[in-house]
Amino acid sequence: MAWFIIILLCLGNSMAQFLNITNKTKPDLEERLVGLLLRLQTEKIYDTLLIYGRDCAFPSLSSRLQVPTVLVSSGSTNFEWNFSSLTLVLSCEFQAEREENYRTLMKLQLARRLILLRGDFQPDTVCDFYSKKDQYNIAMVKENFDQFGVVYSCRLFQDRNYEKVNLFDVNPIFVEQFRNMHGAPIRTITDNLAPRSMLTQDPKTGEKKWIGYVANVISQFIEKVNATMDMQEELTDIEGKFFVANISKWTADDLLDIGMTMESTGEMSNFDTFTYPYLTCSYCFMVPLPDLVPYNEIYGVIIDRGVLGVLFVLFIIFSVMLIYIKQRSFRGLSLTRVLMNDMCLRGFLGQPFPFPRQSCRKLKLICLLLCFASLMTTTMYGAYLKTFLYSPPAEPKMRTISDFEKSRYTIAMNWAEINLLLFRNSKLQGVSDARVQIFEDYLEFLSLRESFDTDYIFPVNSVRWSTYNEQQKLFHHPVFYYSDDFCLSRYSILSFPIRRHLPYRELFEEHILRQKEFGLLDLWIDHSFLDMLRLELMPYTDFSEPPEDELEIWLDDLYWVLGLYALALGISCCCFALEVLGSLNCWTRLKEYKWR
């Protein structure tokens, strides 16, 4: 019994010493971790803590740090992370973070992580694990951190994938690794659509380069981060087709890092594979300019109904005043005498008329006003006629679907854009299928549009139209115009397609905003036409085809004039015949009277 009591006392003493050591070690580890977190807070690394796991020193530190803290003991959240803050992720052990919420993973991909390693896990193994998940801002501490004060920080572009950083060193724990990629490749592919991206060659080195308001952004970003462009040209030969949508699909499938193209994101709900908007433009139709009014219709164009109504009212007023002043009474007024007043008819047609003798001042004033009205009327219509004969006006432009249905044109569309025409645009849903021609080959569609074929109308964005508009300045006269009334989208948002988990996404979007802020985007767009001419991507051909006989007037152009002249001459002949017949009846009556 005595020996049993002695053994119990020895065990109790040993247990007390172990608990004393444990309690002493744990505060030391916590103090070191608090010092590390305070250092990171001073460096403005975080302002919110997200802790995965439970059985470690991290949860107990949250009460000592005056920052918002979210504790996820199960290793995964059941909500979407929506805190717009700098988040530092703390993991109680390797793979304690078992996040299953996709949106939270996306938003926390670039967040910095501090992991407490337990057991025999090595830093290089941990760095490899997180690099496969495209997470690179990783730092680790072991359980002996209180003794050595060493932090293991993952490094991507060096021989050893991690670096030892002492807690009391000035070396940073987290670094912007993608500021200098040390020649690492960035996978991309171009759509070769001018003026977005145009292939050129360095005359000295013979190296291929791409220029344009899209290609310049990627090229300058690659140069800025000291990377290399890896053009994935082998992807272009898939099923014998190539279209912009293919590039977006390849980036979504992680075959590309950044696509050297742009796609509209205005109607999308998921922007995981697209950058911040780079360009906004309208997407309307380029329509052939309406034909000039034929010469045989110009005589009707110069006649305006409103002006004719005013002239008719003035004619009635002058006619009534002339009859009243002559007779000084309204008894002689009749519809026939007012409408067929000889003086007013001759006066308004600019012909001489007999001036009444012994006229009063009022009658002279009316005749003077009549002569002035005659001069103004004949001068006005003469000027209109000569101007329109020299430069005929154009017919009205298309503004509605009914105008398009009455026209001779056909809408040329690519197969990938037909849904945008028929299903996404309510204004154009009334277009019949017979008036739309679909081209399977996108290059064939581009060739037809660049030939300025006046049998079609083509969809085009406002940026590409600016180059077409500049090209038309080389023509004899413009051929197409950009219709603001006939549009697929008045406000298109264009973005770059990128890989879903691109680790340097923020750097690239910052680069995009800086290019726009300094006005480089506008500069590149303004120089697009000159670049296309220099690279011989735009011909000097005049597609306007001016007619040789554009200033000649043929006999057919006088059809209406001669027809009206013949009609008036026929009416005059009828009146003359009636007058002759009337005079014959008078002579017959006179002879009968004499014989009586």
Whether the pTM exceeds 0.95: the reply is: no
pLDDT given for residue 332 in this prediction: 67
pLDDT given for residue 525 in this prediction: 94
Dihedrals phi, psi of 494, to nearest 5 degrees: -110, 135
Q: Is residue 592, in this structure, part of any structural domain at all?
A: no
Burial of 236 by CB count in 10 Å (0-12 exposed, 13-18 middle, 19+ buried)?
middle
Give the chain's end-to-end CA distance (angstroms, integer).
Answer: 187
Helical H segments across 441-480, by residue range: 442-450, 462-472
Residue 320, pLDDT > 50, answer: yes
* CA-wise closest residue to 215 among 235, 183, 232, 192: 192
- Are 406 and 332 within one domain? no
pLDDT given for residue 240 in this prediction: 45
* CA-wise closest residue to 257 among 500, 497, 504, 499: 499
Q: Is residue 12, in this structure, part of any structural domain at all?
A: no
pLDDT given for residue 592 in this prediction: 61
CA pseudo-torsion sign 441, 442, 445, 446: negative
For the stretch 44-65, pLDDT in tens is: 888 899 999 888 888 888 778 8
Q: Is residue 221, in this structure, part of any structural domain at all?
A: yes
Q: For the domain that residue 459 is a member of, what is the CATH number?
A: 3.40.190.10
How many residues are recorded in the chain?
Answer: 596
Residue 381 · residue 308 · CB < 8 Å: no
pLDDT given for residue 486 in this prediction: 80
Residue 419, pLDDT > 90, answer: no
pLDDT given for residue 185 in this prediction: 94
- Are 418 and 548 within one domain? yes
Q: Return the structure tokens found at 10.
A: 């020895």
- Are 79 and 138 within one domain? yes
- Are 170 and 245 within one domain? no
Residue 22, pLDDT > 80, answer: no
Q: Nearest-5° angle of CA 518, CA 522, CA 525?
A: 140
pLDDT given for residue 510 in this prediction: 94
Q: Is residue 532, in this structure, part of any structural domain at all?
A: no
Alpha-carbon span 371 to 379, nearest angstrom: 12
For the stretch 173-226, pLDDT in tens is: 898 889 999 899 999 999 888 899 999 988 888 888 999 999 999 999 999 999
What residues are paired with 414 via a beta bridge? Answer: 439
Query: Of 147, 175, 203, which one is at a domain's C-terminal end?
Result: 175
What is the overall mean pLDDT for the chain?
A: 82
- Are 383 and 313 within one domain? yes
Q: Return the structure tokens found at 585.
A: 């009846």
pLDDT given for residue 395 in this prediction: 85
For the stretch 486-501, pLDDT in tens is: 888 888 889 999 998 8
Helical H segments across 85-148, by residue range: 102-107, 123-131, 145-148
pLDDT given for residue 596 in this prediction: 54
Q: Is residue 15, in this structure, part of any structural domain at all?
A: no
- Are 446 and 331 within one domain? no
**Containing structural domain, residue 409:** 279-291+394-494+539-553
- Are 70 and 169 within one domain? yes
Residue 16, pLDDT > 60, answer: no
| Percent of the chain residues topping a pLDDT of 70 | 87
Instruction: Give the total number of structural domains in the chain.
Output: 5
Residue 165, pLDDT > 70, answer: yes
For the stretch 244-300, pLDDT in tens is: 778 888 999 999 999 999 988 877 777 889 999 999 998 889 999 988 887 777 877
Q: Which position has the higher pLDDT, 535 or 442?
A: 535
Under the banding of pLDDT at 50, 70 and 90, the label for residue 24 is very low
- Are 361 and 221 within one domain? no
| Mean pLDDT of the 370-385 span | 84
Q: Which position has the higher pLDDT, 71 or 301?
A: 71
Burial of 392 by CB count in 10 Å (0-12 exposed, 13-18 middle, 19+ buried)?
middle
Residue 92 · residue 121 · CB < 8 Å: no
Alpha-carbon span 521 to 419, nearest angstrom: 30
| Mean pLDDT of the 68-93 span | 87
- Are 90 and 121 within one domain? yes
- Are 42 and 159 within one domain? yes
- Are 46 and 155 within one domain? yes
pLDDT given for residue 365 in this prediction: 81
Q: In what order do the strands lie in the sheet with 480-495?
A: 263-264, 480-495, 279-288, 456-461, 410-414, 436-439
Alpha-carbon span 256 to 502, nearest angstrom: 10
Give all strands (DSSP E) within 410-515, no chain letters: 410-414, 436-439, 456-461, 480-495
Under the banding of pLDDT at 50, 70 and 90, the label for residue 154 is very high
Query: Of 355, 390, 425, which one is at a domain's C-terminal end?
Result: 390
Query: Of 334, 365, 390, which one is at a domain's C-terminal end?
Result: 390
- Are 34 and 127 within one domain? yes
Q: Is residue 349, in this structure, part of any structural domain at all?
A: yes
